[in-house]
Structure 1
Amino acid sequence: MRADASRNREQLLAVATRMFAEGGGEPPMRAIAREAGVGIATLYRHFPTRESLVDAVYRDQVGRLTTGARELLGQLTPAAALRRWMDLFGDWIATKNGMLDTLLAMIEAGEIAHAETRDELLSAITTILDAGRAAGDLRTDVSADDIAASLIGIFTVAPRPRHDAKAGRLLNLLMDGLRS
């Protein structure tokens, strides 16, 4: 891919992700292209359908969460890495909620493997938990499933971006309970 085409694709992904995360329903493709500073034909050249754009955003976000766990552990203590990863998870949930109708249709059609994504996310949480246990930072009796369920609960009652402050307080409370 040419450098300008690659930049356009990355810009489209970034703008689509932001617009999905802002809420208010799924944005029109034309609005995404305009906000990214490209023509609608450029958007459709990279993403021929709304589903292909949603798939790319979804996979990009899951990739950021899975690689983010390792990257955060390289920069922060395990407890701090887990807390920061929780923020990334909240961003992912907000983005996912902004494209929920298309995403659910794709999952139902078998175009996205929900179980595979769940396994990837649980593995990322486990990576941080294992490091935290080894360092003595995090409790040993908590599973990745426990944390995933807690995060889903928090972001259900305090969805981003409208309730960032409340979500932050709840995440801090969760972290207090996870420290050893």
Structure 2
Amino acid sequence: MPTDATSSSSGGRARRSDVRRNEQKLLEAAAAVFVRMGIDAPVREIAAESGLGMGTIYRHFPTRADLVVGVFKHQLDTLAAAADTPPAADTPYEALRLWVHRFADFLVTKHGLAEALHSDQAGFETLHAEFVDRLLPVLDQLLKASATAGYTRVDVRAYDFMLGIGNLCIGVETFPDYRSRQMIDLLLAGLALPVPALADNQPE
């Protein structure tokens, strides 16, 4: 028979689980709303998207800046974790290519968060540093894995490559027919070396 202490402990775990679940729903809903309407979207839109009440939103994120920062960090964590999830890739180069496209999609579609990234508004000052600190090691790891396996050049700095991807994504906002994925594939092709298996079979 459960004791009062056991019941209290179980109830506490259930409440914490509910809190985490609600926070996850809020972050995902806010991210979707920010994509459609920007980071100044009405909180009621986020409430409607999440199916949660306004009071729940303010309990988790007392200010808009808290919510924007929370969404931004959640998106960074998701993108960084994608590099650790075994991708549908046969080679380190393909793993690099798949992650780079996810990174570019983040830059292109999360335009609301990009506003915060380049803002000097109170609460957003550290976002750019967190963006670089969180994602640069991930890109560096993927580049090194591909280079070590002989698929890409070894003289490419992750920071330079990240800036190059970002610059190729800028045109999306200005030119409706601009195809950033094709441009990024051209950039990736510039890194590529002859496939090791084929190179090994070349006549001397």
Kindly indicate whether the alpha-carbon contact (under 8 Å) linking 2:38 and 2:111 is maintained by their aligned counterparts in 1: no
| Unaligned ranges ≥5, structure 1 | none
Q: Whose helix proportion is higher, 1 or 2?
A: 1
Pick aligned residue for 2:48 from 22, 34, 54: 34
Aligned to 2:154, what secondary structure does the other structure show? Answer: coil
Distance in 2, Cα, partners of 1:177 & 1:23: 36
- What does residue 168 of structure 1 align with? 181
- What does residue 27 of structure 2 align with? 13
Distance in 1, Cα, partners of 2:146 & 2:33: 34
Kindly indicate whether the alpha-carbon contact (under 8 Å) linking 1:18 and 1:95 is maintained by their aligned counterparts in 2: no
- What does residue 51 of structure 1 align with? 65
Q: Which has the larger radius of gyration?
A: 2
- Post-superposition CA distance 1:61-109 (Å, at most 9, x none): 222232322335x653221222221222123324653035555144x65
Against the structure 1 CA distance between its residues 53 and 116, is the aligned structure 2 distance closer, same or farther, given a 3 Å change threshold?
closer
Which structure has more RCO (C-alpha within 8 Å, separation ≥ 6)?
Answer: 1
Kindly indicate whether the alpha-carbon contact (under 8 Å) linking 1:70 and 1:127 is maintained by their aligned counterparts in 2: no
Aligned to 1:177, what secondary structure does the other structure show? Answer: helix
- Post-superposition CA distance 1:128-154 (Å, at most 9, x none): 011001111121121112211111111
Give the aligned residue type for 2:32: R
- Identical columns (%): 35
Against the structure 1 CA distance between its residues 50 and 109, is the aligned structure 2 distance closer, same or farther, given a 3 Å change threshold?
closer
Q: Residue 140 in 1 paired to residue 140 in 2?
A: no
Aligned to 1:71, what secondary structure does the other structure show? Answer: coil
Work out the number of aligned pairs and report it: 176
Give the aligned residue type for 1:119: D
Give the aligned residue type for 2:95: A
Kindly indicate whether the alpha-carbon contact (under 8 Å) linking 1:23 and 1:94 is maintained by their aligned counterparts in 2: no
Divergent runs of 4+, >6 A: none
Distance in 2, Cα, partners of 1:113 & 1:7: 24
Aligned to 1:138, what secondary structure does the other structure show? Answer: coil
Kindly indicate whether the alpha-carbon contact (under 8 Å) linking 1:17 and 1:95 is maintained by their aligned counterparts in 2: no
